[in-house]
Amino acid sequence: MKDRTYTADAAPGDHATVAGWVHEIRDLGGIAFLIVRDTTGKIQVKLEKDEMDEELVETGLDVSRESVIKVVGDVKEEPRAPTGVEVVPESIEVIAAAETQLPLDPSGKVDAELPTRLNNRTLDLRRDEAKAIFEIRAEVLRAVREAFRDFHATEINTPKIVATGTEGGTELFPITYFGEEAFMNQSPQLFKQLMVGSGLERVFEIGPIFRAEEHNTPRHLNEATSIDFESAFFDHTEAMDVCEAVVKAAYEAVEENCEGQLEALDLADEFEAPSGEFPRLTYEEAIQRINATGELDEQLVWGDDLPTEGEHALGQDVGEHYFITDWPSEIKPFYIKDHDDDETLSTGFDMMHPRMELVSGGQREHRYQRLIEGFEQQGLDPDAFDYYTKMFKYGMPPHAGWGLGAERLVMTMLDLDNIREAVLFPRDRQRLSP
């Protein structure tokens, strides 16, 4: 619509065409108001029953809420209008009428449960709060891309249909690929590693990962978006530096550019980008601190994975983003390198928000022989990963990287209760459509 003016741009004195959804109809007797909403906001359209064309007034009064209309008229100053201006219409056209029974109330006056909202995402995203989450998510991804470019990383896209998974078959979705078994990829791990040995050296990818995890939790999806980074000639500490900078850049961009969205989410006052350095705790310190909180029934010992309640207790104790480093080698994946001076210690790290894990990373095993042994110890057939391991014979530099869940980043940043709030169309145990 070439001559369309966004409601936010309509200024007194304009002769304007506004188009959008009927948010509200207020009939006060001799006068009535239509509130028209578009992506930028809302504007009042005035209907004076005795003074305006009868047909025009009738069209305006008969239209159902959430119908799409086009209004042409003069924009006038009106201090009593919600935005200080109103449109005095010459014409009102109903472009797409909405049924009067809606599955969801987009004005937000009637609350809806999450499943109802997800089943009707289109209507749900007419609400400012829901829309704000996805505008912020877009800003996060924009800022993350820019931060990676500042680090001279090249954006890549790796295949999502693969012959073999990263860490074996347990969490993979199988598919049929021209009569052969294939899988949806659970991580770009192996492919991004292959790129550090290419001429690109330093890469990032923002793309889907597929996890056939059976559990149904507020922080797991079966299709998630992973923000991945990998760099040649990096050790785990350098990878952590980039991780911290990228997460901070996302927060800072939202703080700077998403004021209206934060207001819509009622977060404007409390939102704060992390400023100090993220503390780096070793795994040993982490289990000691968890044990000291007394929150767990049983004390953690060396080699235990951190249970969810332990992560919560530690998160409360630390109170900000932090890293856990120096994990026992046996509980980190085989492709993560051990410390050169102590092979019981892994260079793997996790970056945590007080509420949950956001990132896993580490320095990778780049020595061919060690890598093959790792596959065997894991019970995986190295031959199945030949496309990957082979490249380690032709000059693979030391390298490190990490993966960050985009939805978990948005979820924790905006204090959302459920990760599904941060995905347009979530995939989980119960949900394959829409």
Could you list the active site residues? 211, 213, 219-220, 357, 360, 408
HSE-CB of 262 using CA atoms within 13 angstroms = 18
- Give the one residue of 144, 345, 358, 371 binding ligand ATP; rule: CB under 6 A: 358
Mask for 350-389, x = binds Mg ion (CB under 5 A)? ----------x-----------------------------
CA nearest neighbour of 87 among 52, 132, 125, 135: 52
**In angstroms, what is the C-alpha Rg of the chain?**
27
Closest CA to 221 of 429, 402, 2, 34: 429
Contact range with ligand ATP by CB under 6 A, out of 65-73, 106-114, 372-380, 398-406 = 398-406
Q: Judge whether 357 and 306 are in contact, CB under 8 Å.
A: no
Taking a C-beta distance cutoff of 8 angstroms, is the pair 319, 354 a contact? yes
- CA distances, 400 to each of 78, 344, 360, 386, 432 (Å): 60, 19, 11, 21, 35
Nearer to ligand ATP, 220 or 289 (CB): 220
C-alpha 178/C-alpha 185 separation (Å) is 17
Which of 57, 63, 224, 267 binds ligand ATP (CB under 6 A)? It is: 224
Q: Which stretch binds ligand ATP (CB under 6 A): 16-24, 246-254, 283-291, 358-366?
A: 358-366
Instruction: Give the C-alpha separation, 281 to 322, whole Å.
Output: 7
- Structure letter (DSSP) for residue 304: P
- State the minimum distance, in angstroms, from the CB of residue 278 to ligand ATP: 15
Q: Which residues are within 8 A (CB) of 121 and not within 5 positions of it... i.e. 6 or more apart?
A: 424, 425, 434
Helix (H, G, I), strand (E, B) or coil at 389: helix
Our finding on whether 407 is near ligand ATP (CB under 6 A) is yes
Q: Which residue has the CB atom at the shortest distance from ligand ATP?
A: 405
Closest approach, Cβ 377 to ligand ATP, in A, equals: 19
Nearest residue to Mg ion, scored by beta-carbon proximity: 360
Secondary structure of residue 341 in the 3-state scheme: coil
Single out the residue of 14, 58, 105, 213 in contact with ligand ATP (rule: CB under 6 A).
213
Nearer CB in complex with ligand ATP: 66/350: 350
Provide, rounded to whole angstroms, the least separation between the CB of residue 151 and Mg ion: 22
Distance, CA of 290 to CA of 322 (rounded, Å): 14
Binders of Mg ion: how many residues, by CB under 5 A?
1
The secondary structure of residue 1, as a DSSP letter, is -
Q: Count the alpha carbons within 13 Å of 392 in the hemisphere toward its beta carbon.
A: 21
361 alpha-carbon distance from chain centroid: 19
Contact range with ligand ATP by CB under 6 A, out of 44-52, 123-131, 371-379, 403-411: 403-411
Closest distance to ligand ATP from the beta carbon of 247 (Å): 11
> CB of residue 58 vs ligand ATP: minimum separation in angstroms?
52
- Report which of 68, 63, 65 is spatially closest to residue 105, judged by C-alpha positions: 65
Q: Which of 49, 131, 220, 280 binds ligand ATP (CB under 6 A)?
A: 220
The span of 68-76, 242-250, 357-365, 381-389 binding ligand ATP (CB under 6 A) equals: 357-365
Confirm or reject binding of residue 211 to ligand ATP (CB under 6 A).
yes
412 binds Mg ion (CB under 5 A): no
Q: Which does 226 bind (CB under 5 to 8 A by kind): Mg ion, ligand ATP, none?
A: ligand ATP
Q: Which residues lie near Mg ion (CB under 5 A)? A: 360
Q: Which residues lie near ligand ATP (CB under 6 A)? A: 211, 213, 220-221, 224, 226, 357-360, 403-405, 407-408
